[in-house]
Amino acid sequence: MENLMNSLSAKATIQNRSALAVDKPQVIRVAFFISDGTAITAETLGRSILSQFASVPFETRVIPYVDTIEMAQAAVEHINKAYQTTGILPLVFDTIVDPDIREIINSAQACNLDMYEGLIGRITDEIGVEPDAHSGHAHDDVDSETYKSRIDAVHFALDNDDGARTRHYDMADIILIGVSRSGKTPTSLYLALQFGIRAANYPLTEDDLFDNQLPKALQPHREKLFGLIIDTERLQKIRQERRAGSRYASFKQCEEEQRAIQAIYMTQNIPSLNVSEMSVEEIATRILQITGLKRRIG
Amino acid sequence: MENLMNSLSAKATIQNRSALAVDKPQVIRVAFFISDGTAITAETLGRSILSQFASVPFETRVIPYVDTIEMAQAAVEHINKAYQTTGILPLVFDTIVDPDIREIINSAQACNLDMYEGLIGRITDEIGVEPDAHSGHAHDDVDSETYKSRIDAVHFALDNDDGARTRHYDMADIILIGVSRSGKTPTSLYLALQFGIRAANYPLTEDDLFDNQLPKALQPHREKLFGLIIDTERLQKIRQERRAGSRYASFKQCEEEQRAIQAIYMTQNIPSLNVSEMSVEEIATRILQITGLKRRIG
């Protein structure tokens, strides 16, 4: 079964393995995300919608930069080939602005799911302004304050990662704290890339944790601190993958660190969040919600 | 004019200042992005659609985690207040799965733009499966290979940023090269966060550039190299913001480095991309397209 699926496609998205527990070979429907730009918008919304059908496996393919007649024709060939191979209509999620190119895509043998069509028409009716004919908004943040804020935030996150440097904390928007491997670094970078927020992060190590007070470097910036919490089981699993069998990865150690850090958050009155069940996107969004921190871009 | 707008909202998105060059004070329409999850999907598609109306200024507000009746009622109050303040119907972009919560949001005084509604219905008709009743897909990548790939890629990008370490290049999926401040670091991180790709990056400094050969650390990994190019004017502007008046930021220096690096790309047969007019998303997507590199997640 597994092999058959691999032979159909290495990229098949198996959303629920139990759905595959049937006797006859299953044909997997292909979903395309197509755009005249990066296709990130089409893919984001498309995947979100597909996730509403968790019992159905889909194979997904992204086709960005369909911005010429030739590219559109090539995309149609891909779609038709997917139909011929599987015998079931592919789903085509697209965000294409140019009507000529859109028409070509719509001619493919597929269930066409145009994401802009209905919405842009309704907005035009409401605001009384026709949409521009340009494609996408890929160039939006170039040469703008947005670009600068974002790049500056990324470099800030890098320079101030993992407690590497603490002397620029007065410039930080937020300082994430937590035990080793609680997700501070990816969260800092996501806050920078997505929201332009300057996030430093500082690991609380054993010395700090059992000292019953905040490390000196953090004390003057108490109002910027935000604590991450992670369930002991999950922390242990992550650390185990890193350093299997070590004391660092032992359940006892993980548990003690978690207890100690939560005591610090409580006694020092530091807002915190249990991130065990969250994706990086969700952690970042929740932090904005809890702290009221304003995004610098978007 | 500027002050009036600021008083209306600090977050007003001024997409085209010329649209504001009128005599009477202009009321800015509010656009909401609302979801039962992070609202990243609603915001991504919503902003992309709004960018099709570049002459119209919008004030945007994001309301994530509308997953209870109470949260929905609070959101409706926000929306209605925006209508009362501006006198024009707000646009409400939402991706809400629960029908009861959706009904409440739809009761607001607004132009409601439900992103899921039509598409999910059409998919149900096509595939013959009803959507699940769960909300969003925020937990998708937790405890999965996706989560691990992503975090590993982020740490790889960090550890191998800016030529800091070169001994793990055999594990890299790609090694970005370019002059200082050509966008290597944000691109590496974006490739990691968005696609789970292990991207190292290495700056070609003056010594490397005028040596007419690749640095030793890069030579065994030639097939993984990808070169970034940036226009001299833009490079100079970026460096100027960093170290104003320095030789590093002089037009002459920027121009010579650009010429030298493009000669290296050409003689060494390294694929490259001029990223001057591109956002980080676009650079990353183009690199995948040019190199054929496969994403590890998504």
pLDDT tens string B46-97: 988 898 898 899 999 999 999 999 999 999 999 999 999 999 999 999 998 8
B191 and B101 in a single domain? The answer is no
Contact present, A189 and A157 (Cβ < 8 Å): yes
Residue B296 lies in a domain: no
> Using the 8-state DSSP alphabet, how is residue A12 labeled?
E
A180 and A215 in a single domain? The answer is yes
Q: Percentages helix, strand, coil for chain B, rounded to the nearest 5?
A: 50, 15, 40
pLDDT of residue B19: 45
Nearest-CA distance A21 → chain B (Å): 17
- Cβ distance A289 to B183 less than 8 Å, yes or no, reads no
Residue B179 annotated as binding site: yes
Chain B residue with minimum CA distance to A11: B298
pLDDT of residue B131: 85
B139 part of contact set with chain A, CB < 8 Å = yes
A95 and A9 in a single domain? The answer is yes
Residue B148 annotated as binding site: no
pLDDT of residue A134: 60
**Within the 13-32 window of chain B, which residues sit less than 8 Å (CB to CB) from chain A?**
29
- Cβ distance B139 to A241 less than 8 Å, yes or no, reads no
Residue A295 annotated as binding site: no
Does residue B12 have a pLDDT over 80? no
- Cβ distance B154 to A186 less than 8 Å, yes or no, reads yes
User: Which residues in chain B have their CB less than 8 angstroms from residue A137's CB?
Assistant: 47-48, 51
Residue B112 lies in a domain: yes
What single-letter amino acid sits at B269? N
Structural domain of residue A287, as residue ranges? 145-291
B78 and B188 in a single domain? The answer is no
Q: What is the largest CA-CA distance in chain A?
A: 68
- Choose the final residue of a domain: A97, A127, A157: A127
Does residue B252 have a pLDDT over 80? yes
Nearest-CA distance B186 → chain A (Å): 7
The CA angle A55-A61-A67, to the nearest 5 degrees, is 140
Residue A245, judged by CB atoms within 10 A of its CB (0-12, 13-18, 19+), counts as exposed
The CA angle B119-B92-A100, to the nearest 5 degrees, is 50
Nearest-CA distance B172 → chain A (Å): 18
- Cβ distance A40 to B285 less than 8 Å, yes or no, reads yes
Residue A66 lies in a domain: yes
Distance CA A293, CA A196 (A): 11
A80 and A155 in a single domain? The answer is no
pLDDT of residue A25: 60
Q: Count up the domains in chain A and report the number.
A: 2
- Point out the residue among B45, B161, B193 whose CB comes nearest to the CB of A193: B193
β-strand pairing of A111-114 with A58-63: unpaired
Residue A297 lies in a domain: no
Tokens for B100?
């009861």
A141 part of contact set with chain B, CB < 8 Å = yes
- Point out the residue among B38, B51, B234 whose CB comes nearest to the CB of A285: B38
- Cβ distance A45 to B41 less than 8 Å, yes or no, reads yes
CATH number at residue B98: 3.40.50
Does residue B138 have a pLDDT over 60? no
Does residue B2 have a pLDDT over 80? no
Which residues have a Cβ under 8 Å from the Cβ of A287 and sit 6 or more positions away? Answer: A174, A187, A191, A226, A273, A293
- Full pLDDT tens readout for chain A, 298 residues: 333 333 333 334 444 444 444 455 678 999 999 999 889 889 988 988 898 898 899 999 999 999 999 999 999 999 999 999 999 999 999 998 888 999 999 999 999 998 887 888 889 999 999 888 665 444 444 556 777 888 899 999 999 999 988 989 999 999 999 999 999 999 999 999 989 999 999 999 988 888 878 999 999 999 999 999 999 999 999 899 888 999 999 999 999 999 999 999 999 999 999 999 898 989 999 999 999 998 888 6
Interface size A-B, in CB pairs within 8 Å, comes to 198
B116 and B176 in a single domain? The answer is no
Instruction: Using alpha carbons, list the distances in angstroms from residue B213 to B175, B210, B218.
Output: 17, 8, 10
A100 and A206 in a single domain? The answer is no
A88 and A164 in a single domain? The answer is no
- Residues B13-49: tens digit of each pLDDT: 444 444 444 455 578 999 999 999 889 889 988 988 8
B97 part of contact set with chain A, CB < 8 Å = yes
User: Which residues in chain B have their CB less than 8 angstroms from residue A186's CB?
Assistant: 150-151, 154, 193
Residue B174 lies in a domain: yes
- Residues A200-258: tens digit of each pLDDT: 999 999 888 888 789 999 999 999 999 999 999 999 998 998 889 999 999 999 999 99
- Cβ distance A52 to B154 less than 8 Å, yes or no, reads no
- Cβ distance B97 to A41 less than 8 Å, yes or no, reads no
Distance CA A150, CA B199 (A): 19
pLDDT greater at residue A16 or residue B246 = B246
Phi and psi (nearest 5°) for A294? -90, 135
A163 and A97 in a single domain? The answer is no
A63 and A188 in a single domain? The answer is no
Interface test with A, best of B285, B289, B294, B297 (most A CBs within 10 A): B285
Nearest-CA distance B259 → chain A (Å): 22
Tokens for B259?
């010429």
Interface test with A, best of B17, B243, B273, B279 (most A CBs within 10 A): B279
Residue B155 lies in a domain: yes
A140 part of contact set with chain B, CB < 8 Å = yes
**Within the 163-182 window of chain A, which residues sit less than 8 Å (CB to CB) from chain B?**
none
- Choose the final residue of a domain: A127, A159, A192: A127
- Residues B274-297: tens digit of each pLDDT: 999 898 989 999 999 999 998 888
User: Which residues in chain A have their CB less than 8 angstroms from residue B143's CB?
Assistant: 234
A160 and A44 in a single domain? The answer is no
Q: Cα A157 from chain centroid?
A: 17
A144 part of contact set with chain B, CB < 8 Å = no
- Point out the residue among A11, A53, A134 whose CB comes nearest to the CB of B131: A53
- Residues B185-230: tens digit of each pLDDT: 999 999 999 899 999 999 999 888 888 789 999 999 999 999 999 9
**B263-286: b or e for each residue (b if 16 or more CB lie within 10 Å)?**
ebbeebebebbbbbebbbbbbbbb
Which residues have a Cβ under 8 Å from the Cβ of A103 and sit 6 or more positions away? Answer: none
Residue B35 lies in a domain: yes
- Cβ distance B142 to A49 less than 8 Å, yes or no, reads no
Residue B11 annotated as binding site: no
Interface predicted TM-score of the whole assembly (ipTM), two decimals:
0.75
Mean pLDDT to the nearest integer, B166-178: 95
Alpha helices in B136-269 (DSSP H): 145-159, 184-195, 206-209, 232-242, 251-267
Does residue B5 have a pLDDT over 60? no
B12 and B123 in a single domain? The answer is yes
- Residues B96-117: tens digit of each pLDDT: 888 899 999 999 999 999 888 7
- Choose the final residue of a domain: A127, A153, A178: A127
Chain B residue with minimum CA distance to A147: B279
Distance CA A117, CA A98 (A): 11
Residue A132 lies in a domain: no
- Cβ distance A113 to B119 less than 8 Å, yes or no, reads yes
Distance CA B198, CA B259 (A): 28
Tokens for B39?
């609202």
- Cβ distance A286 to B131 less than 8 Å, yes or no, reads no
